[in-house]
Each structure stands twice: as C-alpha cells, then as structure tokens.
C-alpha cells in the first residue's frame, strides 16, 4: 500500500489536470543522480507488474506452435508460428510495424534462436526480444502477468518515464503502482534511494507534481 505522500501527490496531479475528451495516461518521471549510465550494468531495465494494472490496453504477441499456440490464442493479441516468423524476416517493414505496435513478446524456447537470428535486428534495438516460454510454463499466466506490466527503462538517460496508470483510476490504485516501481528501483540501484534525485507524476496533458 502506497504511503500518504505518494497518494497525496497523485491526488493533486489528477485534480490539477484539465478536463480532456480522451482517457489520459498517468506517467512517472524519474530523475537519477550520482550514477554512471554509460556503464550498461548501471542502467535500469525492468518489467514491473503493477498491482492495480496499467489502466491501458497492453499488446502481447506470442511466437508458438502446437499446444502452447492453442492455449495462447484466446488471450494473446496475436499468435505467430514458424511460417509467420519466416514471412516477417522477409518483410522488414512489417516486422518493424509489429515491433512498434506490440508492448511485449513471448516465444517458445525452441523458437528463440530463430527469432534472434531472423528478427533480432528489429526487436533488439527496441528492447522487444521475447521472454522465453519454457517447457512446463503456463503461457496463459505469463500473458496475464504481462498485461499488467510496464517496462521501466533508463537507457543512458538520467531522466526517464514510465506509465503508472490512467486518469480514471483512483489515486490509491496509482499510488500503489508507483510504490511498487520505487521499491524496485531502490532495490536495484547501486545506492538505492540515494541514486534518486526526484520523482514526478503527471497525466498526459496535466502539470507535473513532485512525489519524492
């Protein structure tokens, strides 16, 4: 459960946002300090499951065949087999459109090597390489988890953003999501909270409100 300081900041961000005729995203801006992001091992790259969900549609594509494909069909946005993979490898524009329009990819372990060799040039730079589905993994559970996940990624930038909800979610729900992200950052940064300079929350078109 988020502390009162976080929830108060979210409440203010929601209240200060001007009325819009569309469903706004709520984003978190994180500013780091005293950390060398030219060193890849110091960079943040985490998929975080949000307890209250993202408040948005999350697109997930599964590369699979057989039983795994059948199980994924009812829950994934698209299921692609080996023939589809070969077609994508021959059509780089279509592969790029798929990568840009998909939040997360999953792939059966047996297909990972082919995906790396045929689509790695497209998926790799976008940080969209699939998570492997190992034998015995529940692909339905994996897709459901990813539907409530966001990628928290700094790259080489000390200021970066991530989605934490939608404007029609409650301040408590968004606050809980922020709390989980901040806890993950504190656990993974070299100096924990000392590496965090400031954190702001805002709706798509609203003013930024400082959280920490």
Distance CA 93, CA 177 (A): 35
Instruction: For the beta carbon of residue 179, count every other beta carbon within 10 angstroms.
Output: 18
Of 161, 183, 133, 136, the closest CA to residue 27 belongs to 161
CATH homologous superfamily for the domain 4-55+148-210: Ribosomal protein L1/L10, rRNA-binding domain (3.30.190.20)
User: Going along 86-193, which residue ranges are E strands?
Assistant: 104-108, 131-133, 149-153, 159-166
Which helix (H) or strand (E) segment is 178 a member of? helix 171-188
Taking the chain (212 residues) in runs of 10, the rounded mean pLDDT of each run is 84 88 88 95 93 92 96 95 96 96 96 96 94 95 94 94 93 96 94 96 92 81
Residue 11, both tokens: 């409440």
Of 77, 31, 15, 5, the closest CA to residue 202 belongs to 15
User: In the prediction, which pLDDT does 20 show?
Assistant: 74
**Beta strands 78-80; 60-63: pairing state:** parallel
Helix pair angle (82-89, 112-123), 10° resolution: 30
Question: Which regions of the chain carry the CATH code 3.30.190.20?
Answer: 4-55+148-210
Question: Which regions of the chain carry the CATH code 3.40.50.790?
Answer: 60-146
Of 107, 166, 161, the closest CA to residue 132 belongs to 107
Contact call for residues 205 and 17 (beta carbons, < 8 A): yes
pTM of the model: 0.80
User: Going along the chain, which residue ranges are E strands?
Assistant: 25-32, 45-49, 60-63, 78-80, 104-108, 131-133, 149-153, 159-166, 196-203, 209-210
Distance CA 212, CA 198 (A): 5
CATH homologous superfamily for the domain 60-146: Ribosomal protein L1/L10, domain II (3.40.50.790)
């Amino acid at each position: 459960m988020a502390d009162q300081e976080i929830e108060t900041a979210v409440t203010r961000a929601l209240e200060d946002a001007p009325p819009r005729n569309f469903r706004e995203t709520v984003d978190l801006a994180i500013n780091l300090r005293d950390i060398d992001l030219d060193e890849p091992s110091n960079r943040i790259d985490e998929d975080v499951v949000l307890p209250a969900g993202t408040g948005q549609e999350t697109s997930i594509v599964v590369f699979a065949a057989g039983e795994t494909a059948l199980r994924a069909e009812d829950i994934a946005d698209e299921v692609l087999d080996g023939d589809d993979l070969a077609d994508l490898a021959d059509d780089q524009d279509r592969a790029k459109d798929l990568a840009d329009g998909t939040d997360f990819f999953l792939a059966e372990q047996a297909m990972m090597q082919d995906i790396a060799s045929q689509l790695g040039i497209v998926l790799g730079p976008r940080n969209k390489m699939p998570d492997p589905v190992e034998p015995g993994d529940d692909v339905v559970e994996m897709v459901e988890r990813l539907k409530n996940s966001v990628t928290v990624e700094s790259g080489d930038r000390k200021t970066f953003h991530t989605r934490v909800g939608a404007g029609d979610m409650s301040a408590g729900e968004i606050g809980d999501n922020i709390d989980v992200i901040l806890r993950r950052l504190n656990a993974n940064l070299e100096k924990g909270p000392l590496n965090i300079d400031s954190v702001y929350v805002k709706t798509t078109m609203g003013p930024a409100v400082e959280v920490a």
